[in-house]
Amino acid sequence: MSLNVVKPGIMDTIQDMGRAGSAHLGIPLSGAADKAALAVGNLVLGNCADTASIECHWPAPVLRLEAPALLALTGADFGATADGIPIQQNRAILLPGNAEIRFVRRHSGARAYLCVRGGFLFPEILGSRSTHVVSATGGFAGRKLATGDNIQFDTSLQQPGPALHASTHGLYPVNHLIRFTPGPEYDRLSENARTDLEYENWKIAVNSDRMGCELSGPLLSLKNNEEMVSSAVVPGTIQLPAGGKPLILLSDCQTTGGYPRVGQIIEADLPAVAQLSPGDTFRLVRVTREEALLAGYRYRLHLRRLAQGVLWHNSNQTGT
């Protein structure tokens, strides 16, 4: 049985944590833009954190279940309903067959995740089910979802269970303060550019997608315009093209680039960047390597505690 796409959204794709370990072959990481939201949705269902789910952008899709499903919605709040009844975020919920899922209003965030118990059933390519649209790889025929698509899941796993709820407090930075560490070419920035990078308000520009976010704000300058050999980049790298508008790379970014890498968004704050929409404003805050490592440890600890809490709750329910 399956989930049927009645009406597609602007960009709905199958995503997990991505294709790690293939960058040397020129293959992007891909995967969920907000990996924290993906993990939370899967963990409250008892799934592994990297189980394949649906990533939705706004406007979001209309979906219909052909069988009962234990699912969870995380990430952006798009006002999800099932047959007109609101669906709570970050909570495991069993929906009946023929239920119609709609997203009626964007309240916050840029990307929502629909996770189902056991995950959606797609073959792995290089260890991942993630969709990379540019190369037509993974997911549903390597493309975004379309009207009439049937997304399969294991109906034998969709059993009633406790409505486990996860708190995301502490997973995302407050007040849109995004932390970064200086990049390899940070020292090439002019003194004024360094000040602007750290103390000016930045806005997500319209020219943004899963490959990266263009930033609107002061134009940054370099001390010199010497040529740079293409070098490795990863999601979260802050590049500075010739025009002076910084770019923050996201999940579908290329593996190398020729623009100066003036910063790197820390692991713990990259999910927050993925939830910024065009027009949203934020600040960049420079931190040390040690501060970045500590924030990453706390981020992963939050998810480990959630996974352990679900395991403990389920073991108590079964008496094992």
Residue 25 token pair: 């072959």
The amino acid at residue 98 is N
Chain centroid, CA 52 distance in Å: 12
Best CATH choice for the domain 174-287 from the list 1.10.3720.10, 3.40.50.12280, 2.40.100.10, 3.40.50.300: 2.40.100.10
- For residue 319, is pLDDT > 60? no
By the 10 Å C-beta count (0-12 exposed, 13-18 middle, 19+ buried), 66 is classed as middle
Map residue 30 onto helix, strand or coil: coil
Domain with CATH 2.40.100.10 in the chain: 174-287
- Segment among 14-23, 115-124, 155-164 with least mean pLDDT: 155-164
Q: Tell me the pairing of strands 281-286 and 177-182.
A: parallel
Question: Of 103, 204, 96, nearest to 158 (Cα)?
Answer: 96
Percent of the chain with pLDDT over 70: 98
Question: Of 8, 5, 65, 17, nearest to 41 (Cα)?
Answer: 17
Question: Of 165, 246, 179, nearest to 208 (Cα)?
Answer: 246
pLDDT at 35: 97
- For residue 231, is pLDDT > 80? yes
pLDDT at 317: 65
Map residue 151 onto helix, strand or coil: strand
pLDDT digits (tens, 9 = 90+) for 68-111: 999 999 999 999 999 999 999 999 999 999 999 999 999 999 99
Confidence at 320, pLDDT banded by 50, 70, 90:
very low
Which phi and psi (to 5°) does residue 19 adopt? Answer: -100, 75
